[in-house]
Amino acid sequence: MAREGKVIEDKATPIKKEWEAYARKGNWTVKGYEMVMAPTGPGKLEESREAEYMVIYRPHGVLYHHSYGLVSKFFKGLIEKQLLGTKCPKCNTVYCPPRVHCWNPACRVAETKWIELPLKGKVHTFSVMLFSADAFLEMLPFVLGYVQIEGADTALPIQIVTAPTEVFVGQKVRIRFREDRKGDLMDIYAMPVKGQAIPEDSCLHNNPQTIKDLNRDLENTYAFLEKRFGIKKEAAQRRWKAK
């Protein structure tokens, strides 16, 4: 039972046992402590005296069950290898990410209609992440893109799987589905269409020093990947090749 609703498809029961146990294990009780000496007081560091502190270790695990609401259709679509958006019948704005209600004040919260979108778009903007949250560390270097899907008027956050030194604003991309889809935006990724020339004015490329510096710090990231996860540089780079 998902709260008070009737379950019509169950892809949760097998994982509930595992994760509910984990959530219960971190139950806000103190598991250990350290005694620490450190500066106390409000003033300048050089004028501070030391005090003795007890630092406790208290885990807190949580398992959320969250409804995607009426945009659930979008996420179910990802699982079924469909990219969906919504269109306002009044102002014709196409939303991807979808909105079930149009946000144009002139449309007075009109209900939108679902439409299927093509698996292509262009990079509106991007960043090259050389550090990230725990869940994404193994995927570094991670190119975060905001991609405008063809036919949509807004931009979708999506991972761009490419050599970080080759991404640019305006780049055409194809949207692909991952094999192991769970129902979030990481079920899809973007891959640049082959054969595009990097524009001369690309802000990442218009100064050779920028690429040199990025390459230097990419090496640090590869070293981190190998040390932490045993992923070799070549293996990390192979991900960027289209299958």
Partner 1 sequence: MDDRRVAILGGGMYRPDRVRFDNAEEGVAMAYRQLLEDIPKLDPQEIQFVQSSYFSDHLNQQLCMSWIVQDYIGLHRKGGYRVEAGGSTPLDALINAYFLIKSGRYDLVLVAGWEWMSEVDTATTNEFIASASDTDWDFTVGGFYNGYYAALETRHMQLYGETIEDLGQIAVKNRNNAVHNPFSQWRAEHGTSYVALEDYYKDRIIAWPYRRWNCALISEGACCLLMGSEKVAKRLSKNPMWIDGVGIGTDSMRPGDRLANWAYHGVYKADEKIYPEKYEKPITPYPEMANFGFAREAAKQAYAQAGISDPLKELDVAELFAPYDGVELCLYEDLMFCPRGEGKTLIREGVVKRGGELPCQLSGGLTAFTHPVGATSLLQTLFLYWQLAGLIPKKLGDPTLQVKNARKAITTGHGGTGCQGGVIIYSRD
Sites of contact with partner 1 (CB under 8 A): 28, 36, 38, 40-46, 48, 51, 53, 55, 58, 60, 66, 68, 71, 91, 93, 95, 97, 103-106, 124-137, 142, 144-146, 148, 153-159, 164, 169-170, 184-186, 201-204, 207, 209-210, 213-214, 217, 220
3-state secondary structure of 34: strand
- Where are the extended beta strands (E) located within the chain? 32-39, 50-57, 84-87, 94-95, 113-116, 120-129, 142-149, 156-160, 172-177, 188-192
CB of residue 94 to partner 1, shortest distance in Å: 8
CB of residue 4 to partner 1, shortest distance in Å: 21
- In the chain, what is the greatest distance between 2 CA atoms, to the nearest angstrom? 67
3-state secondary structure of 2: strand
17 versus 23: smaller Cβ distance to partner 1: 23
CB of residue 99 to partner 1, shortest distance in Å: 8
Residues facing residue 126 across a β-bridge: 145
17 versus 45: smaller Cβ distance to partner 1: 45
17 versus 105: smaller Cβ distance to partner 1: 105
C-alpha–C-alpha distance, residues 195 and 117, integer Å: 24
95 versus 222: smaller Cβ distance to partner 1: 95
